[in-house]
Every structure is written in C-alpha cells, then in structure tokens.
Amino acid sequence: MPPAKTGYLLILVLLVTGVSTASAAGLPGVAAADTVRTNLWLIEALMGEIVNTAAAVMPPAPGAVRLEATRDDPRNDIFQAVAAEILGAAGYDLYVAEEDPARQGAVDYVFGFSVQDIALSYPDVGRTLGIWRRWVERELSVAVLVEVSEEASGRLLFNERLERRYGDRLDSGDFDDVDADVYEFTTAETTETGWKSRIEEIVVLGTLAGLVAIYFANTGN
C-alpha cells in the first residue's frame, strides 16, 4: 500500500500498529496490522480518538458518567456505543439518559455529544494505461461536538468541536470490501462517475474491438 499523505501519517501509524488511544482503551473490532480497514471500522476508530481526547478532562475512575446525545441523529448511536466501550473499559460506571432516567442526578459527570459530520470521499484513482484501476485514494473525517460537565456543580469541563481525519490508498481488489452501504456515510462514489466512466467504457470497447479485428485478420490469412 502506498504511503498515506503527510497530514495523515501519525494517525495512520497508530491505526496500523494497533496502538491508537481508541484501540488501547478496548475499542471493539481492533484490526491486525495486515487487515484492510472498512469505512465503518475507521469511523469508529476516529470516534474513539475523540472520546479519549474529551474524557481526559475527567479525573480517573471510579466515577459515574451519564452519556447524553444532545440531538436525535443515527450517527450518535455509533458514537455512544464507542464512548460506552472506552469509558467502561477505563472503569467508569455508565448511564444513558433515555434508558435510565431514574439515575439523572446520581452521576458525577455528564458526557454530552453530537456528531456534526462524517465525510467520506474517494478523490483520486490510479490506473494502468488509463484503463485498469490499481488503487483508490480514500479520505475520511469525523467531527463531533463534545461537552463534559460536573453534574453536582454544573461546572463545564470541556466544550469543543473535535475533528479527526484519516487518509490512505486502497488496492483496487479491496475496494468492494471496505465500501459498504450499511449507512449512507460508509459509502461514496469515486471521482470517475459521469464522463470519466463513459470515456473508460469507450476506451475498453475500442480496445476489445481492435483485438477482435486483429484476430479475424490473422485467422483470415
């Protein structure tokens, strides 16, 4: 696999070696060094980095934490699961506001969150002789607004929009394995839609027609 862009080098090394803060905290589905990461796996890993950054403001466990999505969004469900796994592994007792309303005031900290954006794109494609696809460039970013506060005093410990990015190049044979329509944000179109794909089809058909013509010309002789 060709090297990632310079701006993404650090997080690429962390993810590939399996020692990112997210994986170190027990994020489910930690992949081996030679495993192709799916888009969903990477989204969860980037969310894990965000959880760890925000949770650093809280004193070490023990302590009771209420997870609270600040708006209704299906992307928050994924973030909540990642946060629960990481904070639970760190030793905190966890409560979800909508699932256990009786514990509203019986917590030490409130960990509020709202996923602002998950952006996936395939901005470039490498080809051999302009026809056969060899690799696909992948770029992914996750942005979450996180607010951490003390329940008793209401003191705000953390309030920030955190964004994490990742980029790499996929072998063309792995593309179908990582791009999946499980969610709308785990799949995207490559840059070769539209006129580029039509040009490719014309080139391929023209090449095949030429080969057929050469074959019949040779057999005719």
pTM exceeding 0.85: no
Q: Based on the domain organization, do 185 and 118 belong to the same domain?
A: yes
Q: Based on the domain organization, do 203 and 113 belong to the same domain?
A: no
In a domain, 1, yes or no: no
Q: Based on the domain organization, do 180 and 201 belong to the same domain?
A: no
Q: Domain range spanning residue 195?
A: 191-221
Q: How many domains does the chain have?
A: 2
**Residue ranges of the alpha helices (H) in the chain?**
9-17, 21-24, 39-55, 74-89, 175-178, 195-220
In order along its 221 residues, the chain shows pLDDT tens digits of: 444 433 333 343 334 333 333 333 334 445 555 578 999 999 999 999 999 999 999 999 999 999 999 999 999 999 999 999 999 999 999 998 766 666 555 899 999 999 999 999 999 998 887 677 889 999 999 999 999 999 999 999 999 999 999 999 999 999 999 999 999 999 999 986 544 554 555 555 556 666 666 766 677 65
Q: Based on the domain organization, do 216 and 185 belong to the same domain?
A: no
C-alpha 199 chain-centroid distance: 31
One-letter amino acid of 111: F
- Is the distance from CB of 175 to CB of 38 less than 8 angstroms? no
Q: Based on the domain organization, do 102 and 155 belong to the same domain?
A: yes
Q: Based on the domain organization, do 149 and 205 belong to the same domain?
A: no
In a domain, 34, yes or no: yes
